[in-house]
Amino acid sequence: VAEETRARVERAMEKLGYLPDVVASNLASNRTRMIAAIVTSYGSALVREFLQSLADTVHPAGFLLLLGATGTSDPRAEEQLIRAFLARRPDAMVVSQINHSSDTRRLLRRSGIPVVEVGGLADDPIDMTVGFSNQEATRQLILHLVQRGYRRIATLSETIADNDRAKLRRLGYMEALHEAGLSHRADLVEAPLNIADAADAFAALMRRSPEIDAVFCSDDLLALGALAECRRRRWNVPKRVAIAGLGDLEFAVAAVPALTTVRIYRTAMGRRTGAVLLQALQGERPQQPQQPVDFEIMSRASARPRPNPTHQPAATCLPG
**DSSP letters for the chain:** --HHHHHHHHHHHHHHT----HHHHHHHHT---EEEEEES-TTSHHIIIIIHHHHHHHGGGT-EEEEEE-SS--HHHHHHHHHHHHTT--SEEEE--S---HHHHHHHHHH-S-EEEEEE--SS-SSEEEEE-HHHHHHHHHHHHHHTT---EEEEEE--TT-HHHHHHHHHHHHHHHHTTPPPP--EEEE-SSHHHHHHHHHHHHHH-TT--EEEESSHHHHHHHHHHHHHTT--TTTT-EEE-SB--GGGTTSSSPPBEEEE-HHHHHHHHHHHHHHHHTTPPPS-SEEE--EEEE--GGGPPPSSTTTSPPP-----
Taking residues 58 to 87 in sequence order and writing x for each that binds DNA by CB under 7 A, - otherwise, the string is: ------------------------------
Q: Is 88 in the site for DNA (CB under 7 A)?
A: no
Q: Is 32 in the site for its own copies (CB under 8 A)?
A: yes
Find the shortest distance in angstroms from Cβ 61 to DNA.
Answer: 16
Q: Which stretch binds its own copies (CB under 8 A): 83-91, 174-182, 204-212, 284-292?
A: 83-91
Taking residues 104 to 143 in sequence order and writing x for each that binds its own copies by CB under 8 A, - otherwise, the string is: --xx--x---------------------------------
Q: Is 256 in the site for its own copies (CB under 8 A)?
A: yes
Binder of its own copies out of 83, 178, 239, 285 (CB under 8 A): 83
Q: Which stretch binds its own copies (CB under 8 A): 58-66, 174-182, 183-191, 237-245?
A: 58-66
Q: Decide whether 4 or 124 has the Cβ nearer to DNA.
A: 4
Q: Is 41 in the site for its own copies (CB under 8 A)?
A: yes
Q: Decide whether 12 or 27 has the Cβ nearer to DNA.
A: 27
Q: Which stretch binds its own copies (CB under 8 A): 41-49, 120-128, 202-210, 304-312?
A: 41-49
Taking residues 22 to 61 in sequence order and writing x for each that binds DNA by CB under 7 A, - otherwise, the string is: --xx-xxxxx------------------------------
